[in-house]
Chains A and B, each alone.
Chain A
């Protein structure tokens, strides 16, 4: 038991490794009987005049070296190189002009490579620090992108249905000035202003409603009502009220973000314990001091919850609202017009920008939360 805790990689893997390797070897062995792909309709095998054997021996070498490595973690890094080599093989074969859609040998081989990656990730996720926090999720994401690229191109999925990531990336690069203008209009103008107004108003009204009980009683049911309002219903109305520019997008965002912030702030303000409030009363602290010294710090985790929910809501709200009228710029506008023109590469590029922006906003807030509420039980690291 103590051996497990002091050296978890080695012990757990010594037990698991053999079974895992057998599981990896089975599809790999089967793969050698099947073709890699086809050239001009004729199947091409592993020894069909390509450099595939070179890749194969490289991968085998890493697996053997990985087994022999004095430390499991070093072995894992060596095996990772093997995985990378295995996944480079289809990219090389496609460059050679092979049709991979019937290359079941190759696909089985890649299944084995994925199992090997699974094993590597299992070891790496046991290493504390940067490896576990950054490298493992990074490798996971990279693996998904490479898998997407290889599958889409290998099976020749039409780009109109799903383009490979490389094509989205080149569309991003080619249309960078346009996408930047869209980003500036949608995110830097509409989203930021609407977000600040919606969250700010929700917060201030919550403080007021906490002081004036009938406001809370009246507003909370409205919150449920508002959260059920569809954006596609409210957006055209806001465009009619406030015009095409950012004001109508900000208005949609305010409608969407006001109540989540209000409800979270109210819940946070009610989060102080009786004993803490009694303490403030015993110090003859008034409403204001109790709010600042006790109730707002106690509400911080709730405030961040509201802010994080709203960061994604605001982005969705702005993009959807732009479908209903906008100056000829903006991410929603771009998506709606380029879909109509069948220019799906740009649509995907815009989606990528939106996804990155959303995770960036969320991640920034999560980081800020970590800094300001390090004391909270959910954040504590002794």
Chain B
């Protein structure tokens, strides 16, 4: 079956979600919970506080954007969730586990700022990489890779090498690679930051459709207000030095199904205004 959309929307539920309720009877609706989370980098002159006393709860099925100017710790927070950084104090739980346990159980898929594709692998073999590491058999690896490539609209590009693709297509491959793991939690660190605005709009539209179709929990780092409001159910506004949370905005005035034209609606403008005010509040002229 072919879909008209490049990110073929398929009304299939995520395969792991709810497939065996007996395994985790007390499966809570909270996916990420952080309490008084701090992270201090030791540097040569004085320690840098990347995160300061961050409290955050992310519910299942939410699309949460972390927004703020550079240096506000939004990427650091995402990396702490992914166990790519260790917090210096505070508590954080992913599905009730430590981030390390969650990482070792491969509970999340991570999309980086750059596609980070391996140039010696074809597109398809790049998507198969995490499955190879998980020890999944060859036939299933290929089937899953093809399925995810079709989902991001890259059927027919399996045998190409990454450098033969445009930047936007490369980033779509990296999203397919994260989806191939079939994680419930998708962590994305400014995945479209390096792309032009037209491509970015396009990919945002498909990302929101993908999110609705799969019901995954998404945490999305961005510094674009429009992008954050368009995609999110909740927006976390952060400020730098030290990195902390200023405001958490619920976007329940916007419909769950998003089309590009909602950006002209007054509800959209109201939320964008609140985000902008929040960012202004955190801005100081002393730096």
Contact = CB atoms under 8 A, between A and B. Distances in A.
Main secondary structure of the interface of A (DSSP, over half): helix
Interface stretch (B26-34, B36-44, B103-111, B224-232): B103-111
Contact of B133 (A273, A285, A382): A285
Contacts of A289: 133
B112 A284 contact: no
Contact of A293 (B82, B83, B133, B163): B133
A280 B134 CA distance: 11
Nearest to A373: B120
Interface string B72-96: 0000000000111000000000000
B18 interface: no
B118 A276 contact: yes
Given A282-B108, A289-B133, A376 B103 contact: no
A341 interface: no
Contacts of B163: 375, 377, 380
Contact of A375 (B84, B110, B119, B129): B119
Contacts of B112: 275, 278-279
Given A282-B84, A282-B110, A285-B133, A297 B118 contact: yes
B277 interface: no
B116 A273 contact: yes
A279 B116 contact: yes
A369 B120 CA distance: 13
A279 B120 CA distance: 16
B133 A283 contact: yes
Interface in A277-300: 278-285, 289, 293-294, 297, 300
B86 to A, nearest CB: 12
A294 to B, nearest CB: 7
Interface residues of B, number: 26
A376 B114 contact: no
A225 B113 CA distance: 42
Contacts of A279: 110, 112, 116
A282 B103 contact: yes
Contact of B106 (A273, A275, A284, A376): A284
Nearest to B84: A278
Given A375-B119, A376-B119, A284 B103 contact: yes
A375 B103 contact: no
B131 to A, nearest CB: 9
User: Number of contact residues on A: which range applies?
Assistant: 20 to 34
B197 to A, nearest CB: 24
Interface string B123-150: 0000001101110000000000000000
B45 to A, nearest CB: 23
Given A282-B108, A283-B106, A284-B104, A276 B116 contact: yes
Given A282-B110, A283-B133, A284-B103, A375 B120 contact: yes
A224 to B, nearest CB: 29
A291 to B, nearest CB: 12
Contacts of B164: 382
Contacts of A283: 106, 129-130, 133-134, 181
B161 interface: yes
Contacts of B116: 273, 275-276, 278-279
The winner among B114, B120, B132 for most chain A CB atoms within 10 A is: B120
20 contacts: A275-B113, A276-B116, A279-B112, A279-B116, A281-B83, A282-B82, A282-B103, A282-B108, A283-B106, A283-B130, A283-B181, A284-B104, A284-B106, A284-B133, A285-B133, A289-B133, A297-B118, A300-B120, A373-B120, A377-B163
Interface of B: 82-84, 103-106, 108-110, 112-114, 116, 118-120, 129-130, 132-134, 161, 163-164, 181
Which 8 pairs show the lowest CB-CB distances between chains A and B?
Answer: A375-B120, A375-B119, A282-B110, A275-B116, A284-B104, A283-B133, A285-B133, A283-B130
Given A297-B118, A375-B161, 6 more contacts: A275-B112, A282-B103, A282-B109, A283-B130, A284-B104, A375-B119
